[in-house]
Every structure is written in C-alpha cells, then in structure tokens.
Amino acid sequence: MPVWGAVEGVQAKVDGKSANIAGVLGPERGLMLLVVMDVAGDLSLVEPARKALADGLEKAGPEVYAGLMRAQDGLQVVLDPTEDRVKFREAVDAQAVGGRAALLNTVETAVRLGDGIMEKTGVRLAVLYITDSNITNYREDYTNPVVNSSDSRDLSRRFPEGLVKERISRLALSVAARQTPLFIVHLDYRSDRLNEAYQTGLMELAALTGGAAEFCRSVGEIPSAVGKALEAAMSHHSVVVELPAGTAQQVTVTLEAPGGSLRHRTRFLIKDK
Amino acid sequence: MGVVRAAWLALVPVILFAQQQAPQEMQRAVEEFRALTQNMGLRADSPRRRAENGRKLPQWHGRLFENFRNNWLDAVPHEVVQRGGRQGMLRRSQFGFNVTGPVEIPWLYHGGRRTFFSFSYEGMRERVGRGNLRTIPTMAERTGDWSAVVDQAGLLLPIFDPASTSRNPNFDPGRAVSVENLEYNRAAFPGNRIPSSRLDGTAKRALEYYPAPNSDAGPFFRNNYFIFAPEVNRADGVIVRVDHNVGERHRLGFGLNSSNGVDGAAEWFPSIANPGPLSRDRRSRRGGMEHVFTRTPRTINTLTFEASTDQTANQPRLDERGNPFPNYRFVPYLSMGNSYPVSRNARNGFAVTNGFSARWREHRFRVVLQAARDQVHSFWPQYPEGSFRFSAGLTSLPGIVNTGHGFASFLLGSADYAEKSVVISPSYFRRTRGLVALRDQWELRRDLTLNIGFNIDVSTPRVEKHDRQSTVALDEVNPVNGRMGALVAAGNGRFGRAFQPTQVRPEPSMSLAWNVRGNTRTVARVSYSRSYSPIPIYSGQWGTQAFNGTLAWISMNQQLTPAVTLAQGLEAQRQFPDLRPEAANNTIADLVDSSGKQPTYQSASAQLEKELPGALVLTMGLAHSEGVNLLVGNSASNPNAIPLSALEFRDQLNDETFNRSLRPFPHYQRFDVYSSFPEGSYQRDACYARLEKRTSAGLSLTASYEYSKQMDNYSGPYGIQDYYNRDNEWSLTSSNNPHRFSMTYVYELPLGTNKALLQMNDWRRYLVDGWSLSGVTTMSSGEPVALRPQFNNTGGVVDSLRVNVVPGVDPRVSNQGPELWFNPAAFAHPGDFTTGDAGRTHPTLRQPGNQNHDVSVTKRFSVRADRTVEFSAAGFNFLNQANWTEPDMVIGTAAAPNVNAGRIIGSRGGRVIQLGLRVSF
C-alpha cells in the first residue's frame, strides 16, 4: 500500500489485529511512474502541463523510470518506462491533443497493468493521469442528451449525474481491488453539475487507491498541480502487509509509526478470495 | 503491492533482491511492462485480443432503461384539492437503450481503435389528464337572462340595449361624461334580460358548441368551468454517432439526431369550437460531420458541417366542409374557436465552421470562421375563418365603466372588431450569416492569464425566396391622405430584396485570471464583453401583408356602432397580392424596423474562487449586465400611439375618426411590430456566492445564493402605459426574483462493500451495497407585484393602464398571508381618461416566494464487474410543498371595488413520483 510519512518502526493492524510488515520500499528506491496523457481539449492547458511534467521529472533522480501512455481511443504505450529524460520530454511534446476523453475507459486497465508489474517485480509504482477530460467529450454517453425535444414533461433528466455515478461506482469496485496508487491532475475544472459529479468521481477513484486528484481552475495552477502530483507519487513508501489467516474479503488496514502520523490507504478488497 | 496473501510471499524475496540491485530490478520491471502491455493489447503491434473461446472480444457498452409514472404514485395537486376535484389520470412510459463501442461487422470490418459508434433510442408514450379552471357564461346568460349577473363587487351588472341609443339633448360638453351628464342615452334591458327575439341566430348556433358550466369555484359565477381532458403524447427518437480515425492525425465524425413526436393538447371543449391549444406534429432532424486534423502537437484544425430541420404542424379540427371554426372572443369568458388552426412551420439551418488552434510561445491562438444559412418556411394563417371581438361597449351605458358585457354584445351579434387572414402561399424566409472570431490566451506570467477576443459577425437581413415581403415605409407618402406611411414591397421601387441593412457587428471581449500573489488556492477573475444579437426570423408570415393580408373591420365608435355583425359575415374586400401603397390602410399594419438598430449587450463581472480546508471551494462574485435596443413586441412598442396629452379630449376619443386623426399615421389603426422593434433596455446587477463541498464520506454538495436586481422598460405582464416616455416605464423586471437559493447534493450511503458500515461478504451485500441519495432544492423570492385597474376608459389611447398610489397608506400588511397579501387600499383606480401614477411593477411588494425539493433514491446491484442493474425512485416536490399562487392584483373602482384584491385564492404544486430501472453493461 502507498504510505506517506516517516515509516521507521511502522506497525500494521488488519481489522484491528496486529499484522506483520513483509517489506517497505521508500523514495530512495526506484519508482516506475506510468504517465497517461488523456488530453482531448484545449491546447492552452496541455502545453503548461507538458512542460511541468517534463521539468518535474528532470529534477527527479535516475532511479525514477517514467513511461508514457495515451488514453484516447484506448490505452496505448507511447514510451516504455525509461530514465532518459530527453526521450520522455520529446515523447510528451509530441503527444497530440485530440480524440475523445478516455480516462474512465482506461483507468482500470492502467492500474491493472501497474498491479501486474508490482506483483512480478516488486518495484514501487504509480500511475499518473494528466487529463483535461470533460464528461461531454466521452465517446460513451454519460450526459444522457435529450433525444426527443418534443417531450416537454421529461423528468428523467432532472438528476443528470446518474450515469456518471453509475460508471464511477462500477470503477470504484474494480480499482478498490487493485494496489497501484492512482494520481490524477485535471487541467480544466468545470463547475456544471455533470462535470462536478465526474470530477468528484475522479477524486473518489484516486482516493480509493491511496492516491490523490488535483484540479486546476486556471492555467496558472497547472505547474503547481503537476508538481504536487509528481512529488506525491515519488515520495510515497510502498509497504507490504501480511494478512493474518481468516481475514475477510474486505479489510481495514491501519499503520502506526512512532515517528508521527502516516497518511495511507485504509480499505482494501481482496480480489482473490 | 499490498495485502493479498498470495502475493506477499512472492514479494518478499523480490524486495530483498531489489534492495541490492535496484537498477537491474527496474530493468526487469521495464521488461515486464513490455510483456504485459503486449499481452493486454496496449502496443501498436499487439495482436487483436480474443476471448477464451477464440472469438473477438466485443467491447460494446450501453444501457437499457425504463422510466415509469402513474397517477396513483402522485399526490393530488393542491389546486385540484382546493377545487374539490379528483386526481387526473397519468400513464407515462419512457424507455430506450444506448450502445457504444467499436464498429464490428463480422467478416467485413473490424473497427478496433479506428471506428466507433454510439446509438441511442428513446421512446415515450403518455396519456395525461390536464386540469384548467376557466370562466364561461352561465346557461341563463346564454338565453339572455342577465338578471343574476354581478360585477367583481357583487353588484348587478346592467346590460343596455344598443338599439335604444339616442343623443342626450341635455349633455353639457363642458363637463366630463358621467351618469349625471350622459352624452348618449341608452335604456337597460327590462329586468336585465335580452329578449330572445333579439338574440343573433349565428350566436345561438355557435353556442350549441359551448359546454355547460361544471364547477362553482367562484367568486360569484366565475371559475365555473373545470377542464379535465386527456392529452396523448408520443415521441420516438434516435441519436447516432460514428467516429473514424484516419491514421494518427485525422479524425472524422458523423452524427445524426432524429425525433418524431406528437404534442397532444387536451381539448377544452369536446367540439369543433375548442379554443384550447391544438395538438401538433413535430419532427426534427440534425446531422453533422466533423474533420479534426492534428497538424502538429501544437496546431489543430477542426472543420464541421451541420444541418438541421425542425418542423411543426398543427392538427386542425375541421367541420364537414373542411373548414375550422371561426374565432369569437368575449373577455372575460373563454372564447370559441382557435387561432392558427391550419398552420405549419419548418426551420432549417446549415453551418460550415472551421476552427484553427495553435500554440506559440506564451500565446494560444484560435481562429474560427463560420458561414451559416437559415431558412424558415411558414404557412401561418391566424384566422382563416375570421375572428370577431365583442367588447362591453355596445351593451354599456356609453361612457360609463362597469356597464355592459362582451358576451352580451356577442348575443346581439355585434362585434366591435373583426379580422380575417387571407394567406395565398407559404413564405420562404432566408438569411445568411458569417463569423470571424479571433482569440488569444496569453500567459502574461505564470500566475496571470489574459484572454482577448474579437468577433466580427455579419448577417444579411431577412429575404423571401420569391420576394413576397412588404412593410410600411414611414417615409413614403400615402396617396390617400398625403400623410407619411405607405405599403412597400420588396424588390419594388427603392427597396431591394430586404428592408433592413446588412449588419456588421464587432464584438470585443476580455477576461483575466489571476492566482492571487501566486497562491494556487485562490483565483481572481474579471471579465468584460460587448455583444450583439441578430434580429431573429420568427415563425409566421409577419411582413408579407401585401401578399398575405389580414382584412380588418373596425368600429367607428366601439360604444355606438358595431364593426360588423355576425349576420353580415366577413366578405373579402380585396384580392391578393395587393401591392398598392394604400393597401394596408385601415388595418393593423406590419411594420419592419429598418433603422439598423440591433440589440446590444454589455457585461462585466468579477469573481473570486478560494479553496478552503475540508475540501470546500467558495466562489463569490459580482456581475453587471445591460442591454439596449432590445427587441420588444406590441405590448411595449407602438409607433402609432396617441400621446397621453390627448386624454384631455376624453369621450371624443371613442370616435374612431377623431381618434385616428391624433395618431402619427392616421390611416393605420396601429402597427404590428411582432416582437422585433428595438426599443427595450435593461440593467441587471447581481452578487452571488457558491459553496462546493467535494466528496467527503460519500457526500458532495453545492449550494449557491444570488441576490439580483433587474430593471427594464418593457417587460410584462401587461405592457407599458406611455410609449413616448420610456424613462417613466423604468421599473423592476416583472420576472426578477431577487433572492435565489439552490442546493444540489449527492450522498453515497456509507454502507456495504468497501464502505465504513455494514461490510457484508455474503448474500446480504446485495441488500446493503449501492445505495445513494441525490437532491435538488430551489428557493426563490417572489416576482414584483404588478397592479392594474379593473377598467380602462381612455378611449383607446392607453393600452396598459396603471393604478394610482394613495399617498400615506402603507401597501404592506402586518400579517401577510393568503387572506391579505398586500393592502389594496394603498392603491386607487384612476379616473376616466387619466393615467395611473404607480410603477409598472411595484418597487417593494413581492408575490409569494417559491420552493421546490426534488430527491432521488437509487439502488445499484452489481451483476458482474461490468454489469449493473439500478432502480431509482425520484420524488419531484417530494415534500408536497404548496406554493401560493399570485394575489389578485386588480384594483377596482371606489364604487365597485374588487373584493378579492390583495387576496390569494389558492396554491399549486403536488408531489410527482417517477420509478426507473436501468441495466448497464
């Protein structure tokens, strides 16, 4: 699980009972950062994000390997994880803005990929989405647009966020069974009801995995939001906790360290049970 | 990495190994990344994914749904309860599906990552009872017996015999007309009964189609007809979208929306004389194509073409000869017959738009070019069988208000005004528009972004395909009387195909976003814009009077002589087309404004957004907007109005010849400007606050409050008093609600899987998982009280008369409630031939406020990881809140006060429940 704070002497409890810590990986060890670009909208927002991303990674040490993927039209690898910052910058700069928003369609695959790598290699790993997605820009119909304009007594659209909520809840169950922390930087905060539900959903998804979501209300906030997400992804510890026998399918894990409070994910779904 | 027991045993040695040889381990992870992404189909060279059985995986998603409403779920509306009525029938089913995914045609085409589609269908079937409370004449009145008919004060309403009219030899012209000084003598019908021999035959035959009263809601004999007729509605529509990627840089998109429906209308009368709205057939189609070309990562070009058509056609009710029923109007009773019984309309739009976006240094440029063509095709005869207006004047005591009645005049067959529409052919209106829009988003500093925009919008005026347009040119000499104002047709004389100039509109805009002192948690924004709106092409055939005319019959004195009798009928006076300059004389003439003025708007705003601890975002702002040259209609614009100073002529004004002589264009009764005259102005100032609570323990909430003040010189509900002094009309906008509060919330209940409470691992999780609650609450203060006098005895000089303010009397009441909402004693009926001094809307008195609370409860069942079934129950006005109706705002005379003035006689609203089922896959 991803943990932030001083982890020396950390102790774990699973559903209130003590549990063994099987391993801890900290920022001093390597990190595989899978960056997913989901940019289909405004050039003016994407450019500062590209720059902040490349600049932020240049400051990171060589132990951070960054890979690049694009989400539009299905998750696709653009650049395999590498410590080569020049290659990464070139790949990010070459990423076209366009297509359809796809975070909701690809996030489950992205964290599944992360889990697969972690399970087989044990590296510290995080997924970072850079997105300007707007719920109206999805190819799938989440907006429930009016089909019959002559139907003046239609009340079914009075609660328009229903489809978004339904999709988020399905994804939430899915990502809750994953271990990869998810970070999202949303470049274009919108305050209409549908997009609020969508953005709230993104926040919920990130929080479920132990990650976080940042939202930018102006162009000026983008560098700082990207920087914050990178910092959070790079600074987390990865702690392996041994589950006691007879643990239920849903568990609550708490970590305590003598050095101070830790921020970490607490709820897990055990998928294999 | 995590807590899965099977996994951690494998992880420990890996971690130990990693601690010793991290770079190598990372290389292994990269190899693993490559292998996994290859297997998962995430690389360009990945093989197509197949399911276990070897078939290609379908990746289609979508949903099926049904929304259901029935009257047994709903509360009986308050207005129905108060009238002692019973709940009406409602059967409604709304159903459909949506499916989205890559295009897959077996053995022919595999869309993969290139071609995607989305298809939605929705159908609706509804049968609903519509309630409406109106006033119709009693059965006794229909036979001429007015002995029990009273006015709004409960006093006998006398009906006078127009056949007994004679000039009063004792009339003193130096004194105002009054009961003591009558200009004309006229005898009341004996016993206030019109003899049956005097009843008009056509009127009697028409009354066979008039239903009998069925309610006694009152007061007196008013509100005696409760309409409760079924309405049948139907709609079917589809939306189809296809996206196709051509390589990495081109994307093509196609879309089609199609909908057919019937807007059923409840019949107010179960006969051909139904005056209620007509059922309409509706058809709409929208199609579009889009090409997106990503030239470089920093330059994008988007080309779109869109076409749309919206068509409506009334479903007329015709007699055995194929004719609709004539229209008979006798306020305050429900009229007979309909307007526009056989009309149809089509609006077509075509637009080509090219948008180019590029990034250069700190600038992001966007250039949009657009060309559009609008078409409106209308066949719109308002009264093909004629319309007859019956007013109280002919059965009144001439010059004395609160005498006579329009329905009594109808019984005698004497109309004071009549018109008949003659439409030879449909009109085919056209207009072309062009737009060049430039935008620069300039990052001045890291924390400061400036947006500058400049649009140039060009639109040609309305033309007609066959040049069948006309107007009154106010600077042309009328050959009949040598006065200014004559009918002119497009393409004739000095006029081209249009009467208005081509408009070029420069529209600047600017906005600034600043992260205050570099604080990314605080954004300040300011903005300014100036814009114009083109004069719309409305449905209808206004402005074609030389080709499709309205024949008019006008009384020379509404108190003395009828314009026409029912027995005479409406004989056509002229043939069309009629391009003579005097062809529109003695009619309400269509006037197209050719001044070139166009509605102009300016707005400015300042806003501060601040993120607060606890996942809260607070937004506060100020907004100002104003507009001039706003398009107004006949209630707010009358270029042929008589100045108020003419009221000094008092009863002479009832003489149509004298009255006309005072008008700027005496050969026209008035002008029809059809909501297109640029004379309105408004100003709105508002401050607002909005608080967003992002998700926390499953709850997210947004609340907003606005205080606003909007003033204008044109808004309803009755029109303006003085067309020549608009400053005097400046008052609160009739729809202004100063306080508005709204709140939306979504609460995912903290129950079940991966939630704080009731985590179940057995079958019970199906019961506790997936509950959520959503709600919308709106509250607003009432609109301004708009008072009007019971009578308007101004000889046709004032269209919308105001009341007088009684000095020193407080219009407010101490215990405001439905019994008395305001103090009617603070207002007085203006005297004959005088205007009122109160505002068009009251500056402080407000109608009752409104509140509404909607809530929706949903329960989701996860059938599989990618399938859910969701039940929902939505309650609209779920508290069954009764909102009071507006108070009676009519002020009677001192002799016959309106006993209901200031009182509220009811409330409205009722809980509506909708059940829904949705299966998502």
ipTM: 0.93
CATH number of the domain where residue A41 is located: 3.40.50.410
**Structural domains in chain A (count):** 2
Chain B contact probe: residue of A218, A255, A266 with most B CBs at under 10 A: A218
Chain A neighbors of B124, CB-CB under 8 A? 148, 151, 154
pLDDT of A44 strictly over 90? no
Residue B492, pLDDT score:
81
Q: What average pLDDT does chain B have?
A: 90
- Where in chain B are the domains? 1-43
Q: Using an 8 Å Cβ cutoff, are B868 and B862 in contact?
A: yes
Q: Is A4 helix (H, G, I), strand (E, B) or coil?
A: strand
pLDDT of B14 strictly over 50? no
Chain A contact probe: residue of B12, B28, B33, B291 with most A CBs at under 10 A: B33
**Tokens representing B311?**
């068509």
Mean pLDDT, rounded, for B663-680: 94
pLDDT of A54 strictly over 70? yes
Residue A271, pLDDT score:
66
8 Å CB contact of B513 and A270: no
Q: What angle in degrees, to the nearest 10, is found between the helix axes of A103-121 and B5-20?
A: 70
Burial of A133 (0-12, 13-18, 19+ CB in 10 A): buried
* Whether A136 and A260 share a structural domain: no
Chain B neighbors of A141, CB-CB under 8 A? 98, 100, 118, 120
Chain B neighbors of A119, CB-CB under 8 A? 1, 7, 10-11
* Whether A167 and A65 share a structural domain: yes
For residue A150, is it within any domain?
no
Residue B9's pLDDT band (boundaries 50, 70, 90)?
Answer: very low
Q: Is A221 within 8 Å of chain B by CB?
A: yes
> Which residue in A82, A147, A268 is closest to B237 by CB distance?
A147
Q: Using an 8 Å Cβ cutoff, are B282 and B260 in contact?
A: yes
* Whether A7 and A103 share a structural domain: no
| Domain carrying residue A37 | 29-141+159-235
Chain B neighbors of A109, CB-CB under 8 A? 40, 42
For residue A77, is it within any domain?
yes
> Which residue in B447, B772, B916 is closest to A165 by CB distance?
B772
Q: Is A100 within 8 Å of chain B by CB?
A: yes
* Whether A80 and A208 share a structural domain: yes
Residue B392, pLDDT score:
95
8 Å CB contact of B100 and A248: no
Chain B contact probe: residue of A24, A32, A35, A44 with most B CBs at under 10 A: A44
> Which residue in A99, A123, A225 is closest to B25 by CB distance?
A123
- Nearest residue in chain B measured CA to CA from A23: B12
The CA distance from A81 to the nearest CA of chain B, in Å, is 6
Residue B2's pLDDT band (boundaries 50, 70, 90)?
Answer: very low
* Whether A226 and A244 share a structural domain: no
8 Å CB contact of B746 and A224: no
* Whether A107 and A171 share a structural domain: yes
* Whether A242 and A132 share a structural domain: no
User: Which residue spans within B533-664 are E strands per DSSP?
Assistant: 550-554, 564-565, 588-590, 600-612, 616-632
Chain B neighbors of A247, CB-CB under 8 A? 3, 5
pLDDT of B230 strictly over 90? no
Q: Is B876 within 8 Å of chain A by CB?
A: yes
- Nearest residue in chain B measured CA to CA from A46: B298
> Which residue in B238, B284, B761 is closest to A248 by CB distance?
B761
Amino acid at B703: A
* Whether A109 and A2 share a structural domain: no
CA B829 – CA B825 distance, rounded (Å): 10
What pLDDT, in 10s, does the model give residues B803-814? Answer: 999 999 999 999
More confidently predicted of A272 and B158: B158
More confidently predicted of A7 and B551: B551
Residue B182, pLDDT score:
94
pLDDT of A141 strictly over 90? no
Range scoring the smallest mean pLDDT among A37-46, A85-94, B703-712, B820-829:
A37-46
Interface of B with A in 176-235 (CB under 8 A): 233, 235
Mean pLDDT, rounded, for A156-163: 90
Q: What average pLDDT does chain A have?
A: 88
* Whether A22 and A33 share a structural domain: no
* Whether A96 and A34 share a structural domain: yes
For residue A44, is it within any domain?
yes
What pLDDT, in 10s, does the model give residues B436-470? Answer: 999 999 989 888 999 999 999 999 999 999 999 99
For residue A17, is it within any domain?
yes
Residue B6, pLDDT score:
30
For chain B, percent helix, then strand, then coil, each to nearest 5? Answer: 10, 45, 45
What pLDDT, in 10s, does the model give residues B107-128? Answer: 888 877 789 999 999 999 999 8
Chain A neighbors of B8, CB-CB under 8 A? 22-23, 240-243
Residue B10, pLDDT score:
30
Contacts of B646 (CB under 8 A, 6+ apart): B653, B662, B797
The CA distance from A56 to the nearest CA of chain B, in Å, is 16
pLDDT of A180 strictly over 90? yes
The CA distance from B888 to the nearest CA of chain A, in Å, is 29
For residue A88, is it within any domain?
yes
Give the other-Cβ count within 10 Å of B539's Cβ.
20
Residue B909, pLDDT score:
87
Residue B539, pLDDT score:
92
- Nearest residue in chain B measured CA to CA from A72: B113
CA B119 – CA B251 distance, rounded (Å): 19
* Whether A15 and A131 share a structural domain: no
Residue A191, pLDDT score:
86
pTM of the full structure: 0.87
Amino acid at B308: S
pLDDT of B222 strictly over 90? no
Q: Is B34 within 8 Å of chain A by CB?
A: yes
Residue B5, pLDDT score:
29
Mean pLDDT, rounded, for B327-353: 95
What pLDDT, in 10s, does the model give residues B541-553? Answer: 999 999 998 888 9
Residue B624, pLDDT score:
98
Nearest C-alpha neighbor of B699 from the set B744, B742, B741: B744
* Whether A4 and A70 share a structural domain: no
Residue B282, pLDDT score:
95
For residue A117, is it within any domain?
yes
pLDDT of B696 strictly over 80? no
For residue A89, is it within any domain?
yes
- Nearest residue in chain B measured CA to CA from A224: B520
Residue B22's pLDDT band (boundaries 50, 70, 90)?
Answer: low
Residue B51, pLDDT score:
46
What pLDDT, in 10s, does the model give residues B839-889? Answer: 999 999 999 999 999 999 999 998 876 789 999 999 999 999 889 999 999
Q: How far is CA B752 from CA B409, B534, B681, B770, in A?
A: 74, 56, 57, 7
Q: Is A203 within 8 Å of chain B by CB?
A: yes
Interface of B with A in 113-152 (CB under 8 A): 113-114, 116, 118, 120-122, 124, 126, 128
